[in-house]
Structure 1
């Protein structure tokens, strides 16, 4: 039996330029534009994209969980880049994590051991 793993993640957003600046500043992601309504990203391990959709519902995407070795440092970068912490750092079996909303309201989480 072959395994299936996440290969690409796509988000809706309202403001591509704001989203690109946020993820670049908070996490160092790089972007490639494909027209005015799509920007693909690379985070060093996974690829994905943001599609401009003026009717995108904030927080309507699946929860994507990012991993870091410096949870508090990344939380500070998220806030400095314009994100909003929606769930402060909490412990769970295996580590700690927090949830945040990007400037367009997409909710993600970041965890660490």
Structure 2
């Protein structure tokens, strides 16, 4: 591990089962349960976990935005929707690429971007 590098992120999740199923289906992340109120994920490029809580991460309330890279943005958008995610901001262009924002089943907001 690199000194002072970000190496773990945690999210609140209302429904751990739905959140786990969503991220595994769309992104292929692996999960390890640590009791009934916590699941850790790996295979995302950054290790992390979800803990049982009624809170959620949303940029409108000042949360940091986790952004995932995609080789095919339109396909990623379709996969998010098929797995039960909600598009909160449709594809838009910004300097360096395009992206969209989505809510996973527990309500956490993330984004997917592409330089293609």
TM-score (norm 2): 0.88
Matched, 1:38 2:30: no
In the alignment, structure 1 segments of 5+ residues that lack a partner are none
In the alignment, structure 2 segments of 5+ residues that lack a partner are none
Mapped to 2, the partners of 1:76 and 1:39 lie a distance apart of 26
| Offset at residue 72 of structure 1 (A) | 0.8
Mapped to 2, the partners of 1:75 and 1:86 lie a distance apart of 11
| Offset at residue 57 of structure 1 (A) | 4.0
Partner of 1:29: 29
The Cα offsets for residues 24-45 of structure 1, whole Å up to 9 and x where unpaired, read as: 1111111000000000001242
Range with greater deviation from structure 2 (2-11 or 92-101):
2-11
Aligned equivalent of 2:74, options 53, 72, 75: 72
TM-score (norm 1): 0.90
Mapped to 2, the partners of 1:97 and 1:14 lie a distance apart of 26
Asked if the contact 1:58–1:104 (Cα under 8 Å) also holds between the matched residues in 2, the reply is no
Partner of 2:112: 110
Q: CA RMSD in A?
A: 1.7
Partner of 1:56: 55
Mapped to 2, the partners of 1:66 and 1:58 lie a distance apart of 15
Distance 1:44 1:83, change over 3 A: closer
Aligned equivalent of 1:90, options 89, 92, 99: 92
How many residues are paired up?
Answer: 111
| Offset at residue 4 of structure 1 (A) | 4.0
Distance 1:94 1:3, change over 3 A: farther
